[in-house]
Amino acid sequence: MVIRMAEKNNDKVGSWDSDIVILKPTIILGQGVQDVVVSVQREFSKYEFSILFKGNWHDAGIFLVTNEYIVPEQEVEQASVDYLESIARLRTEQGYNVVAHSHPFSSNTNFSLDDEETINSHFPCSLLSNAQGRIIRGNLLVTISEYPNGKLSIPVKPENIDINVPTIAVEGLEKIKKKPKKNINKVKTVETMCI
pLDDT at 109: 87
CA pair distance 118, 120, nearest whole angstrom: 6
Q: What is the mean pLDDT of the chain?
A: 81
Whether 161 has a pLDDT exceeding 50, the answer reads yes
CA pair distance 77, 125, nearest whole angstrom: 23
Least confident among 11-15, 147-151, 180-184: 11-15
pLDDT at 68: 95
Are residues 99 and 92 in contact, defined by beta-carbon separation less than 8 angstroms?
no
Whether 155 has a pLDDT exceeding 60, the answer reads yes
Whether 97 has a pLDDT exceeding 60, the answer reads yes
Q: What are the boundaries of each domain within the chain?
A: 25-165
Residues 52-72 have pLDDT tens digits of 999 999 877 789 999 999 999
CA pair distance 7, 20, nearest whole angstrom: 18
Position 82 confidence tier, pLDDT thresholds 50, 70, 90: very high
Which CATH class for the 25-165 domain?
A: alpha beta
pTM for the model? 0.72
Backbone φ and ψ of 72, nearest 5°? -70, 155
Sign of torsion, CA 152 98 111 34? Answer: positive
Are residues 134 and 38 in contact, defined by beta-carbon separation less than 8 angstroms?
yes
Backbone φ and ψ of 133, nearest 5°? 85, 5
Position 18 confidence tier, pLDDT thresholds 50, 70, 90: low
